[in-house]
Copies of this chain bind each other. A is one copy, B any other.
């Protein structure tokens, strides 16, 4: 690869939980980087981060930061993306955005490489990375959609606190130690940092991720509904989601009920998932083997198990899907897209 094209890359939100994973992946994947620019808010500017043995200094992200940048990876919140991505595009960069800012924009491809990588070519400067809980679900469902068709999805999630950022992880660990000591837990961040009411996450399950919408669903639940239809390219798929935060650090788990359009063979479904790219089948009840968040943490794959027929309906299938929300759910999916672009 000595004569491979190299790229000027910017990582916006370099000091965040996802940005950190993106940098690790660019390094471990030996991404063809010419120059790497680390960007953040004014607050985190000045932070030193080492990349391939070099110490880089994080700079405050401004519209001018993107001069000469060819690929920009955004994971600093929707407002930052909205404020800066258009400037990055003007400067000729392709933006891969990990926020909710452009996901439902009809002119922005919403991409999970295992599902719809071909959409990347339609981008107009920005490619959106879907929500973590959506990515792992559609990656596991794609082979079933292709073979049998999917009419409806009913999903309940068991989501890790790392999805709410590094401070939420700190809060959970602090609360947990306090609870073990019999002290007050004093919730300060979860369920939603920007909202007034706080709930204990230690030894609890909180059925709220992100803000409530007028229809009674949370934004996280509506992301799963809308993004799934867009990524799978089928507005007729019925999706109902209940998103719940539980005391797990890394790895979202999902309990899915899927109604296929045609009768299916369970062994064929297992084979399809065993052969699916980016998917690892862990489904051996006799030996108590199934996907677990603690096993998925730190790994790029989507793990699927507990596959079983619905007892009531011929076309109903139950499954359990687990993946690292910071990797396939965020950083890895974004870097996969960047690698696709780099290959040209």
Contacts and interface: CB of A to CB of B under 8 A. Distances in A.
A257 B154 contact: yes
B152 A312 contact: yes
Interface stretch (A7-15, A101-109, A133-141, A290-298): A290-298
30 contacts: A156-B156, A156-B255, A158-B244, A173-B180, A176-B180, A191-B288, A195-B288, A197-B289, A199-B292, A203-B248, A203-B293, A204-B292, A204-B293, A205-B246, A205-B253, A206-B292, A208-B290, A212-B286, A215-B308, A216-B306, A216-B309, A240-B311, A240-B312, A240-B316, A240-B318, A242-B318, A244-B255, A246-B246, A246-B247, A255-B255
A294 B200 contact: yes
Contact of A205 (B158, B180, B206, B225): B158
Given A247-B247, A288-B197, A239 B207 contact: no
Interface in A269-300: 285-294
A229 B129 CA distance: 43
A170 interface: no
A291 B305 CA distance: 29
A28 interface: no
Interface string A229-264: 000000000111010101111000101010000000
B247 A203 contact: yes
Contacts of A285: 212, 216
Contacts of A203: 247-249, 293-294
A161 to B, nearest CB: 9
A205 B292 contact: yes
Given A191-B288, A307-B216, A320 B180 contact: no
A248 B246 CA distance: 9
B320 A290 contact: no
Contact of A293 (B205, B306, B311): B205
A195 B288 CA distance: 9
A217 B253 contact: no
A3 interface: no
Contacts of A313: 238
Interface in A296-331: 305-313, 316, 318, 320
A286 B211 CA distance: 9
Contacts of A124: none
A247 B248 CA distance: 8
Nearest to A253: B205
